[in-house]
């Protein structure tokens, strides 16, 4: 059977019901609160406050996590699965702080859609915009939630205009706020002709929903004060004239975003958004790969690693590879092929990340995220299949923007330090470069905070106090080209050459001028600021 809209075969129901998405937002817009309400309505937790409470308990386990708590940021991404109505939601959490954006970028390669949360008083903020641009690169469908409507917020048209202009995407209102700030009473659900009234008294209560027969229904006047009703009529009329109507295909293609207004803390507008994700969000999508794309409905199992987290439990030194299933129906115990090394791998203890805890995953379908504990075999960008040599593409590694030298406090521990650094490099927590000349390593990160996190983790997980020192270099580029040109280049620039943890050649620079010079003098070489993980 063909799905008319997408011209692709209809997916098996188990796959078709999956929605795999991330939430993007600027810190403080309400991502944590919204996540918590998703889990509450998805039945994954019983009481609001559990995620935070659990977070606190977990965080106090280590100083590193303590640091995370002090900073009020979430350093590592995790995945959560839960059912909502007929859907299975896989929510992949992204760290909100800009210092961890590389991790976030990669996480976005594992999802089919993003929910963009904005603060109704602040509109589109810097981090939202940055993350949005990444979603745009992949034409990810985006659903928007305008939060904190219980507080004084900006004019509705102004918010919509700002999104349209700053992000260059069509915005269609799925709901419309009634009243403002203290006078905010709820929303008119445009998609379903319903009135949703917010209950300020009970934050966890889902809004009262009143079915309305169009805007002229006299029932509206029973619930909405006359002056607000008049304004609602006016605004909706204007909206109808000025704003595009919902076009589900345009949403799926990433050209249009529906916007819901609400208040996560008051549980208001959240269920409507969840219904929206289910009804208008994409099913698991085709994955780009070499030498051919992977379709979710293919019976054979495949998946790729988009994140490796080492030492989730410092006592066990385990690593968990987060794998996005790209196709098929995975069952626990399956033998998969690790394409990079061509070795078979029995996946006997995969975990599914349910909000309450990690659980053994007996099965997983295309779209799901599973965790595979391993001892370092699995790296970011790795593909697992039932034998075919496929390699998922498009998982970027960015050139670091900050470089520092690193030394072990105890010089006798240099080997230990190397091991620790390599592990973090593979995990994607930092870039590690071994200069051709001299001893020691240069560590590169995207945000300064990462140095502190690394120092703290190396000490905690390896018992190694380390020192980061300034480096004369400020940037790095990967270099590729034919052997003769490379040899000539390396010989002439030894002071600037290093190798990354994969052994690839990196050119360390002080100034943009260095890069321009190489480009001019070595036209046969290619300098890149990103490297595809493989």
C-alpha–C-alpha distance, residues 406 and 466, integer Å: 7
Task: Look at the block and give the residue holding tokens 């975003």.
Answer: 257
- Pull the structure tokens for residue 218: 């006299």
Measure CA of the first residue to CA of the last residue in the chain; give whole Å.
36
Identified binder of ligand G4P from the candidate list 264, 336, 479, 527, rule CB under 6 A: 264
Nearer to ligand G4P, 143 or 336 (CB): 143
217 sits near ligand G4P (criterion: CB under 6 A): no
Cα dihedral across residues 444, 448, 451, 454: positive or negative: negative
Least CB distance to ligand G4P at residue 33 (A): 3
Torsion of CA 353, 354, 359, 362, to 10 degrees: -80
28 sits near ligand G4P (criterion: CB under 6 A): yes
Residue ranges in 327-356 that form contacts with ligand G4P under rule CB under 6 A: none
Nearer to ligand G4P, 33 or 383 (CB): 33
CB 391 within 8 A of CB 398: no
Identified binder of ligand G4P from the candidate list 17, 88, 97, 148, rule CB under 6 A: 148
151 sits near ligand G4P (criterion: CB under 6 A): yes
Spatial neighbors of 18 by CB under 8 A, at least 6 apart, are: 87, 88, 89, 90, 283, 284, 365, 366, 367, 368
**3-state secondary structure (DSSP) of residue 306:** strand
Taking contact as CB under 6 A, which single stretch among the options 26-34, 297-305, 381-389, 454-462 is the one that binds ligand G4P?
A: 26-34
Q: Which residue ranges are tagged as binding site for GTP?
A: 25-32, 93-97, 147-150
Nearer to ligand G4P, 269 or 276 (CB): 269
Q: Which residues pair with 186 in a beta bridge?
A: 178, 197
Residue ranges in 288-327 that form contacts with ligand G4P under rule CB under 6 A: none
Taking contact as CB under 6 A, which single stretch among the options 30-38, 326-334, 367-375, 380-388 is the one that binds ligand G4P?
A: 30-38
Least CB distance to ligand G4P at residue 32 (A): 3
385 sits near ligand G4P (criterion: CB under 6 A): no
- Pull the structure tokens for residue 291: 């030498």
Nearer to ligand G4P, 151 or 488 (CB): 151
Least CB distance to ligand G4P at residue 85 (A): 23
C-alpha–C-alpha distance, residues 395 and 108, integer Å: 9
Identified binder of ligand G4P from the candidate list 263, 285, 287, 493, rule CB under 6 A: 263
Spatial neighbors of 296 by CB under 8 A, at least 6 apart, are: 11, 15, 283, 284, 285, 286, 287, 326, 327, 366, 367
Taking contact as CB under 6 A, which single stretch among the options 21-29, 166-174, 197-205, 524-532 is the one that binds ligand G4P?
A: 21-29
Nearer to ligand G4P, 156 or 397 (CB): 156
Identified binder of ligand G4P from the candidate list 17, 19, 31, 457, rule CB under 6 A: 31
Taking contact as CB under 6 A, which single stretch among the options 31-39, 305-313, 314-322, 504-512 is the one that binds ligand G4P?
A: 31-39
180 sits near ligand G4P (criterion: CB under 6 A): no
29 sits near ligand G4P (criterion: CB under 6 A): yes
C-alpha–C-alpha distance, residues 221 and 429, integer Å: 56
- The continuous run of DSSP H or E covering 369 comes out as strand 369-374
CB 90 within 8 A of CB 81: yes
Q: Which residue ranges are tagged as binding site?
A: 25-32, 93-97, 147-150
Nearer to ligand G4P, 37 or 338 (CB): 37
Distances from the Cα of 39 to the Cα of 84, 195, 280, 362, angstroms: 9, 24, 20, 21
33 sits near ligand G4P (criterion: CB under 6 A): yes
Question: Residue count at the site for ligand G4P (CB under 6 A)?
Answer: 17
94 sits near ligand G4P (criterion: CB under 6 A): no
C-alpha–C-alpha distance, residues 519 and 513, integer Å: 10
Nearer to ligand G4P, 25 or 285 (CB): 25
Distances from the Cα of 147 to the Cα of 64, 181, 263, 265, angstroms: 31, 12, 5, 9
Nearest 5 degrees, angle CA 47-CA 49-CA 51? 100
271 sits near ligand G4P (criterion: CB under 6 A): no
C-alpha–C-alpha distance, residues 130 and 102, integer Å: 12
C-alpha–C-alpha distance, residues 351 and 51, integer Å: 19
Taking contact as CB under 6 A, which single stretch among the options 78-86, 129-137, 142-150, 436-444 is the one that binds ligand G4P?
A: 142-150
Taking contact as CB under 6 A, which single stretch among the options 81-89, 107-115, 261-269, 284-292 is the one that binds ligand G4P?
A: 261-269
32 sits near ligand G4P (criterion: CB under 6 A): yes
Identified binder of ligand G4P from the candidate list 8, 14, 27, 515, rule CB under 6 A: 27
- Pull the structure tokens for residue 17: 């019901």
Least CB distance to ligand G4P at residue 531 (A): 31
Residues lying near ligand G4P in the complex (CB under 6 A) are found at 25, 27-33, 96, 147-148, 150-151, 263-266
């Amino acid at each position: 059977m063909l799905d008319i809209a997408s011209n692709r075969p209809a997916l098996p129901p188990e796959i078709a019901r999956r929605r795999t998405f991330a939430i993007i937002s600027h810190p403080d817009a309400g991502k944590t609160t919204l996540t918590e309400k998703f889990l509450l309505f998805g039945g994954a937790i019983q009481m609001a406050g559990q995620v935070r409470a659990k977070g606190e308990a977990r965080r106090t386990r280590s100083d590193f996590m303590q640091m995370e708590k002090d900073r009020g940021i979430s350093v590592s991404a995790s995945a959560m699965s839960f059912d909502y109505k007929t859907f299975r939601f896989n929510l992949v959490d992204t760290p909100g702080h800009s210092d961890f954006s590389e991790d976030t970028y990669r996480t976005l390669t594992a999802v089919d859609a993003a929910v963009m949360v904005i603060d109704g008083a602040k509109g589109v903020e810097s981090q939202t915009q940055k993350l949005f641009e990444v979603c745009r690169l992949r034409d990810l469908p985006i659903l928007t939630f305008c939060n904190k409507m219980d507080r004084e917020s900006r004019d509705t048209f102004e918010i919509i205009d700002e999104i349209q202009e700053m992000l260059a995407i069509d915005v269609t209102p799925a709901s419309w706020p009634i009243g403002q700030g203290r006078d905010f009473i709820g929303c008119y659900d445009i998609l379903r002709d319903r009135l949703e009234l917010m209950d300020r008294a009970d934050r966890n209560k889902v809004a009262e929903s009143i079915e309305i027969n169009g805007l002229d229904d006299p029932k509206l006047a029973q619930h909405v004060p006359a002056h607000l009703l008049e304004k609602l009529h006016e605004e909706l009329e204007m909206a109808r004239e000025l704003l595009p109507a919902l076009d589900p295909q345009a949403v799926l293609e990433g050209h249009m975003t529906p916007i819901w207004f609400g208040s996560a803390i008051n549980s208001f507008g959240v269920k409507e958004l969840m219904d929206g994700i289910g009804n208008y969000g994409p099913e698991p999508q085709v994955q780009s790969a070499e030498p051919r794309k992977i379709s979710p409905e293919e019976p054979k199992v495949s998946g790729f690693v988009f994140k490796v987290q080492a030492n989730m439990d410092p006592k066990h030194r385990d690593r968990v590879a987060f794998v996005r299933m790209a196709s098929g129906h995975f069952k626990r115990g399956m033998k998969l092929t690790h394409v990079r090394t061509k070795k078979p791998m029995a996946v006997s203890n995969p975990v599914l990340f349910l909000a309450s805890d990690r659980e053994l995953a007996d099965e997983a379908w295309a779209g799901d995220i599973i965790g595979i504990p391993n001892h370092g075999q699995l790296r970011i960008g790795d593909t697992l299949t039932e034998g075919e040599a496929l390699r998922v593409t498009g998982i970027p590694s960015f050139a670091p923007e900050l470089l520092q030298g690193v030394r072990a406090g105890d010089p006798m521990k240099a080997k230990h330090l190397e091991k620790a650094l390599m592990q973090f490099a593979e995990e994607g927590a930092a870039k590690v470069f071994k200069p051709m000349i001299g001893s020691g390593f240069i560590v590169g990160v995207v945000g300064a905070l990462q140095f502190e996190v690394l120092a703290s983790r190396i000490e905690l997980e390896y018992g190694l106090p380390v020192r980061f020192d300034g480096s004369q270099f400020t940037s790095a580029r990967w270099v590729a080209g034919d052997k003769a040109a490379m040899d000539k280049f390396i010989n002439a620039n030894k002071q600037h050459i290093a190798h990354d943890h994969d052994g690839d050649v990196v050119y360390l620079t002080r100034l943009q001028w260095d890069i321009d010079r190489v480009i001019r003098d070595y036209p046969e070489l290619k300098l890149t600021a990103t490297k595809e993980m493989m």
